[in-house]
Structure 1
Amino acid sequence: MILITGATGNVGRHLVTALLDAGEKVRALTRDPATASLPEGAEVARTDEMPMDDVEAVFFNPAASWNGPGELLEKAAAHGVRRVVMLSSLACTYEEGPANPIGTHHLKMEREVEASGLEWTFLRPGLFATNSLVWADQIRNGGAVQGAYAEAQFSPTHERDIADAAAQAFLTDDHVGAKPLLTGPESLTHAEMVATVGEAIGRPARFEEIAPEVARERMVGGHMTPQIADSILRMQAAAVGVPALIAPDVERVIGHPARTFAQWAADHAADFS
């Protein structure tokens, strides 16, 4: 039995499907099982109950437990769980400290998992392609997407590639102790990403650059902490005119090339229409 935290999230849903398709037994955790709408065959349980009976391996998504994996690891050890696959972050490869709150937070959690004595794999994706869904209202309403640093370059990762990599970390022993970097296959600017979404929905979409101070005000007004907003804007500024990292790990782990952003946009066209 494999326990999936964050099972109704962007990655979790695809992971549940991938493991069921592989013939694995899956227990999917969600805050509200009645509305989870997960695939038939998944055992659905409440996140706050976290039943561990018969569980051999766990997928830990920090978004489902932002305070860290402490409780999960304690229960896992008590029930003889063997392996933890953690959804971490590419930001862990940057300098640790206050200027990198996302990476620093994930590194702390990685160390907790390592100290547990369980087998582990840390998946380190870069920019999630699904982050682009924050543009949906602006594109749907026919306006330009406003943001800082139109020429900042990223290699957005399709959530299905992350889920497929997680599945492989459970299905084989090849990735125990590994920290694969999960990126998309191409370096794209913010402007190119927005234009790609426009192509997917059949009407033009464009990125309109605004001052970083204005972007920061909107980010914080959208309930992002000032520290996280500042960190993201620093990262974007540093990425202007700099090709994004394109790591080979997606293809190495899942056995096929990483999905393109154009594929992602086509998959999510309805979200922008």
Structure 2
Amino acid sequence: MRILVTGATGFVGRNVVGGLLRAGVSVRALTRDPAAARLPGAAEVAGGDLTEPGSLAPALEGVDRMYLFPVEETAEEVIRLARGAGVRRIVDLSAASVTAGLHTNPVERAVEESGAEWTHVRPCGFMANMLQIWAPSVRAERVVRYPFADEPMNLIHEADIADVAVAALLEDGHHGRAYTLTGPRTITVREQVRAIGEALGEEVRYEEVTRERARELMRAQGGFAAESADLMLGFVEYGGERPSSEDGYADQDWSALMRVWPDVEKVTGHPPRDFARWAGDHADDFR
């Protein structure tokens, strides 16, 4: 068995690679820059870009299962090439917002129509997103500036997403399933900041700011923070539409994303990791 992991250097992808290697299977890890991948030596690192499907032929050779990072624009062609190369099982990374009916995912549809065995992995918000929006200010000032102090959020550890994906890649019985993945409970921003401080062993202050100020701060950071600011702060809905309410989010029903879903434990046999565990795992990233 040889499994191709696309998006192998991302938060989830790295954990998928590690989980598969621990299971003793052959792993080929796809990345745009193999020289900078910093993946375990047992992984075969292959160059390729999901936005350029023609670059994937060498990486697909001899592969029979694939973890698919979603790139909507090229998904159909990537999946067609994979099937032509002999890939018979595809596990794709999707989102819990699809379960909630907030939008549809064309990658899911393409996977289902491919004729491959398929499993959709639909996580809620990534705990790891906080590394990309809060870590700079925590490292520099030991402070988080953000709105929504006491509103509950449903977040998941990237390792739990990977554990479910690994199980679906290796085990039978997951074909045709869509797993909605959440943490063990909802958690507020104030509680998250407190947990980061406890992981560091020192105080991290929380400063409530408006959505507008938070957007300014996130845009100034660039990268993921800038790209995701409007969605995370409610200035746009899933699908890119602007909400009619000034408060944001009002036009969509988020109740399904506030539920604690049982799928992590159902698939893996262990309960999902909580935010305190995640903060401890990433304490050095905030330090």
- What TM-score, normalized to structure 2? 0.84
Matched residues in 2 for 1:43 and 1:67: separation?
26
**2:61: which partner in 1?**
53
**2:19: which partner in 1?**
18
Q: For residues 113-192 of structure 1, what are the structure 2 equivalents within 5 Å? A: 113-133=111-131, 134-192=133-191
Question: Amino acid of the residue matched to residue 111 of structure 2?
Answer: V
Matched residues in 1 for 2:253 and 2:194: separation?
19
Q: Is the 8 A contact 1:152 1:236 kept in 2?
A: no
Matched residues in 2 for 1:260 and 1:235: separation?
25
Alpha-carbon distance, 1:143 to partner: 4.2
Question: Amino acid of the residue matched to residue 188 of structure 1?
Answer: I
Deviation per CA, 1:90-111, whole angstroms, max 9, x where unpaired?
1112344xxxxxx44xx12111
Q: Which is worse superposed, 155-164 or 192-201?
A: 155-164
SS state of the match for residue 164, structure 2?
helix
**1:72: which partner in 2?**
78
Alpha-carbon distance, 1:207 to partner: 2.3
Alpha-carbon distance, 1:239 to partner: 10
Q: 2:92 aligns with which of 65, 86, 101?
A: 86
**1:247: which partner in 2?**
261
Structure 2 segments unaligned to the other structure (5+ residues): 50-54, 238-246
Deviation per CA, 1:186-244, whole angstroms, max 9, x where unpaired?
2110110011000000111132221122223444554326763523783599999x993
Deviation per CA, 1:160-185, whole angstroms, max 9, x where unpaired?
11111100001111211111111111
Alpha-carbon distance, 1:77 to partner: 1.7
Deviation per CA, 1:138-159, whole angstroms, max 9, x where unpaired?
1122343111211121132111
Q: Which is worse superposed, 160-169 or 39-48?
A: 39-48
- What TM-score, normalized to structure 1? 0.88
**1:28: which partner in 2?**
29
Matched residues in 1 for 2:118 and 2:108: separation?
9
Question: Amino acid of the residue matched to residue 3 of structure 2?
Answer: I
Question: Amino acid of the residue matched to residue 90 of structure 1?
Answer: A
Q: For residues 31-46 of structure 1, what are the structure 2 equivalents within 5 Å? A: 31-46=32-47
Question: Amino acid of the residue matched to residue 68 of structure 2?
Answer: F
SS state of the match for residue 4, structure 2?
strand
Q: 2:271 aligns with which of 254, 257, 263?
A: 257
Q: For residues 193-232 of structure 1, what are the structure 2 equivalents within 5 Å? A: 193-221=192-220, 222=222, 223-224=226-227, 228=231, 230-231=235-236
CA gap of 1:136–1:227, structure 2 versus 1, over 3 A, is closer
Question: Amino acid of the residue matched to residue 88 of structure 2?
Answer: R
Across the aligned residues of Structure 1 and Structure 2, the Cα RMSD in angstroms comes to: 2.6
Q: Is the 8 A contact 1:17 1:39 kept in 2?
A: yes
Structure 1 segments unaligned to the other structure (5+ residues): 97-102
Matched residues in 1 for 2:251 and 2:149: separation?
10
SS state of the match for residue 67, structure 2?
strand
Matched residues in 2 for 1:29 and 1:131: separation?
22
Q: Is the 8 A contact 2:97 2:257 kept in 1?
A: no
Matched residues in 1 for 2:33 and 2:250: separation?
36
Q: Which is worse superposed, 208-217 or 121-130?
A: 208-217
Question: Amino acid of the residue matched to residue 98 of structure 2?
Answer: C
Identity within the alignment, %: 44
